[in-house]
């Protein structure tokens, strides 16, 4: 990525002003009660429906411009918020309104020996900036989650979705004015100038958390240049390990689901590891089923020996997130070799063992330190909705604060609250 | 701070090698049982005692060099680890050994509607780098806490404490070799070249968390240049608010304790806010007691009106962490004005209300979003030991991950563990 030019002062003033107003709004937002925040969410849903024609027209314009710029068809399709995506977006708002408000929750209350009561109270983080590419529904989803957790939000979507994002934001801000939420709490960067991002990344006085969602280039840029704490939603090189004792039928079903349910998601299966003692009994059946679904198998020598349709794998494959109908397959000597492979090539995302051996299952959960580690289930469960978090701002690959699927709780922090009767330090 | 020169390749190789070995050691460390980690801690205590003469000689040398460089006497004294400080350091090791091991703790276990069991398991972060100034006991304290939480640690102490830190580290690594802990898990940067810090700050592949402890210059440098997640231990501009209903005797005792117990700590009181209705009844008694202890009072006009020894305060005072026998005092019109002042000038550290009004106490705890917020107690309770965390790596002023006093738990993260019977995504 080319070094950015020094941003012009006018743009700096514009972006800094937006962030300063968001920080001021965040103070008011922390004091808002749940009913007001929910009223904003539900009014947003109503106003979005009422403005649907206008928003879809903006969305059509974005797609047309993308086609003219010869953006590949799958990426143009990702821009669309019509039909089912629209309905999901609206349903998502109702879901977030129904979630329990995390702000003000008190836990860990206990009395110290000197009579001082100590507890933790959950509070908003302040101002959260989201920098994301494509998928304009993120504008609505992220705003709802951030505001529900009491935060102001600064949204900087992809330039391809500019018109859609502006149209959506206009409605969200109108709903804010109508329901007593400070409209500056929903700040949308209204320029496609990439220099705006460079400015945002340095506003650590105004912004408390930065969440980049997008390609590796964006995430690297943010990590390397931000002075604000960052939670990344980076790639997932997810593994399944077929243990010696695995049930062949269960392995086949789980692996098909993990690879094919959705190809272009970070929790999709990318590398299959197989215990040597299961390679003849289980592997051919699994690979045959995948191959019939059009999945290209890239295997090590032992894999090619038991499945002749496999192509030879290269070292690069182990570190590749395909997001496509391709699977890398390796036969390993034992349980420890599977763990060693994941430690060398994994991305700390999602790793599943298929086993009937209790000790190996427990050891897997204990020793594999990825954000989601499971026994006998699909990698699809690395997902906030499927894990019961109620909603998901994304899947964090950062170990700090929120590791793995990240819901409302990840958009808050906790303070210590003390209740005394004159206690002094000892 | 001057822009650093490009570090020489040899130094880069040295620091990168140290971090790579620490990252490898961290993998082994995550698998260690509690007994082995505790054995290392207790053996370290024994070996430190056995090498006491040698270590104190290194410590004497550091102090002598500091005196020769005309370092101010209080800073030279902070370098000392003799007498009570030595005993505290050894006692601290026994305390950490006695703490419950957070690694492997399972919480939030529940069954999803489809029968999948979901829980969270606490795991180490990986590699933690501490960059700190003075106080060489941090070398021992921080190493013990990081290793107990299953992390490898990279320590970069101040150049003034170089000989002491090297002597301490030698003992800690010897104890590691004797007890089966990988010695590379305790990595000490063995150069005083400041370029080593610039290199460390960019090793985000090897290091998972960076904790700077020191002056504002160090913290700014780390925040602005690190590509690694940072948890800052920054300044505390702590406030006490005397509400209209405050008990005068309790107010006096709490304020004396908060200001004078220790002057140069981040949880010391720096600004006193007083409700107008308490300014004549309570304030003179409080200020007289402080003044008798040699505290300089800098007050706004209303303060000077009720206490003639007060000097006029300037706007700059509200944003100053004195760490000295000075107190800024302001009379405010009401409860909301007190909160507004803290939101404008505070550092999100510690704020205490002294009140007999239940509603105001509750509103204070709810609305003031600093890391420690209390009713009727000393600011001294913003402290991991006094809050019952068992130990303290410091007091975080970062909102993410650990906000406020930070113990063993802050040195870990949590993964999702799933136990299924063949569940697929829905």
CATH number of B238-386: 3.40.309.10
CB crowding A21-35: b at 16 or more within 10 Å, else e? bbbbbbbebbebebe
CA distance B25 to A130: 35
Token pair 């940072």 is at which residue? B230
CB contact under 8 A, A380 and B424: yes
B residues 8-37 lying closer than 8 A (beta carbon) to A: 27, 30-31
Which residues in chain B touch residue A27, judged by CB atoms under 8 angstroms apart? 343
**pLDDT by residue (tens digit) across B213-255?**
888 889 989 999 999 999 988 889 999 999 999 999 999 999 9
What pLDDT is stored for residue B348 in this prediction?
Answer: 95
**∠B78-B79-B83 over CA atoms, to 5°?**
85
Chain B, nearest residue to A103 by Cα = B366
Chain B contact for A365, CB < 8 A?
yes
CA distance B204 to B360: 45
Is 50 exceeded by the pLDDT of residue A2? no
Mean pLDDT of chain A: 94
What pLDDT is stored for residue A358 in this prediction?
Answer: 96
Distance from CA of A419 to the nearest CA of B (A): 5
Give CATH 3.40.605.10 domain extents, chain A.
9-234+405-418
CA distance A349 to A365: 13
CA distance B39 to B179: 6
Identify each DSSP E strand in B199-335 by its residue range.
209-213, 238-242, 269-275, 296-299, 311-312, 326-332
Give CATH 3.40.309.10 domain extents, chain A.
238-386
Give the residue-averaged pLDDT of A186-194: 92
**pLDDT by residue (tens digit) across B61-110?**
999 999 999 988 888 888 999 999 999 999 999 999 999 999 999 999 99
Answer yes or no: are the C-beta atoms of B290 and B255 closer than 8 Å: yes
Mean pLDDT of chain B: 94
CB contact under 8 A, B420 and A375: yes
Answer yes or no: are the C-beta atoms of A24 and A126 closer than 8 Å: no
**pLDDT by residue (tens digit) across B317-364?**
999 999 999 999 999 999 999 999 999 999 999 999 999 999 999 999
- Quick check: helix, strand or coil at residue A383? coil
CA distance B301 to B304: 5
Answer yes or no: are the C-beta atoms of B157 and B140 closer than 8 Å: no
B422, two tokens: 């063949």
Alpha carbon A217 to chain centroid, angstroms: 16
C-alpha to C-alpha distances, A314 to A263, A300, A329, A341, B133, nearest whole angstrom:
21, 8, 11, 14, 48
Which residues in chain A touch residue B406, judged by CB atoms under 8 angstroms apart? none
B35, two tokens: 């007994």
What pLDDT is stored for residue A1 in this prediction?
Answer: 40
Answer yes or no: are the C-beta atoms of B154 and B131 closer than 8 Å: no
What pLDDT is stored for residue A391 in this prediction?
Answer: 82
Distance from CA of A405 to the nearest CA of B (A): 9
Short-list B183, B129, B198, B138, CA closest to B164:
B138
> Could you please report the per-residue DSSP string of A54-93?
HHHHHHHHHHHHHHHTT--HHHHHHH---HHHHHHHHHHH
CATH entry 3.40.605.10 includes domain B9-234+405-418 = yes
**pLDDT by residue (tens digit) across B280-310?**
999 999 999 999 999 999 999 999 999 999 9
B345, two tokens: 């000038």
């Amino acid at each position: 990525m080319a070094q950015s030019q020094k941003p012009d002062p006018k743009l700096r003033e514009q972006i800094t002003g937006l962030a300063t107003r968001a920080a001021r709004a965040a103070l008011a937002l922390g004091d808002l009660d749940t009913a007001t925040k929910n009223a904003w969410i539900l009014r947003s849903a109503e106003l979005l429906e009422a403005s649907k024609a206008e928003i879809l027209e903006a969305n059509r314009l974005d797609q047309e411009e993308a086609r003219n710029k010869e953006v590949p068809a799958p990426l143009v399709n990702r821009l669309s918020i019509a039909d089912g995506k629209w309905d999901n977006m609206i349903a998502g708002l109702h879901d977030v309104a129904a979630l329990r408000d995390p702000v003000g929750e008190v836990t860990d209350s206990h009395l110290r020996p000197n009579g001082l009561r100590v507890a933790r109270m959950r509070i908003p983080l302040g101002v959260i900036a989201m920098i994301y590419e494509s998928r304009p529904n993120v504008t609505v989803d992220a705003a709802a989650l951030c505001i529900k957790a009491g935060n102001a939000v600064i949204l900087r979507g992809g330039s391809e979705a500019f018109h859609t994002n502006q149209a959506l934001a206009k409605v969200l801000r109108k709903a804010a004015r109508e329901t007593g939420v400070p409209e500056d709490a929903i700040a949308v960067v209204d320029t496609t100038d990439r220099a705006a991002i460079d400015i945002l990344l340095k506003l650590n006085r105004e912004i408390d958390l930065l969440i980049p969602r997008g390609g590796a280039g964006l995430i690297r840029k943010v990590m390397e240049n931000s002075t604000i704490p960052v939670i990344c939603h980076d790639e997932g090189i997810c593994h399944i390990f077929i243990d010696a004792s695995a049930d062949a039928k269960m392995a086949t079903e789980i692996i098909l689901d993990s690879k094919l349910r959705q190809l272009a998601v970070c929790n999709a299966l990318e590398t299959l590891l197989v215990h040597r003692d299961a390679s003849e009994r289980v592997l051919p059946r699994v690979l045959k089923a995948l191959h019939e679904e059009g999945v290209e198998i890239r295997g090590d020598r032992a894999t090619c020996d038991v499945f002749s349709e496999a192509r030879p794998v290269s070292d690069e494959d182990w570190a590749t997130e395909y997001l496509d109908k391709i699977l890398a397959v390796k036969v390993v000597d034992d349980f420890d070799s599977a763990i060693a492979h994941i430690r060398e090539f994994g991305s700390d995302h999602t790793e599943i063992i298929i086993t009937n051996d209790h000790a190996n299952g427990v050891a897997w959960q204990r020793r594999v330190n990825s954000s989601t580690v499971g026994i006998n289930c699909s990698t699809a469960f690395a997902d906030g909705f499927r894990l019961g978090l109620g909603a998901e701002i994304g899947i964090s690959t950062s170990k700090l604060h929120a590791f793995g699927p990240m819901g409302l709780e990840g958009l808050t922090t906790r303070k210590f609250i003390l209740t005394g009767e004159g206690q002094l330090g000892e």
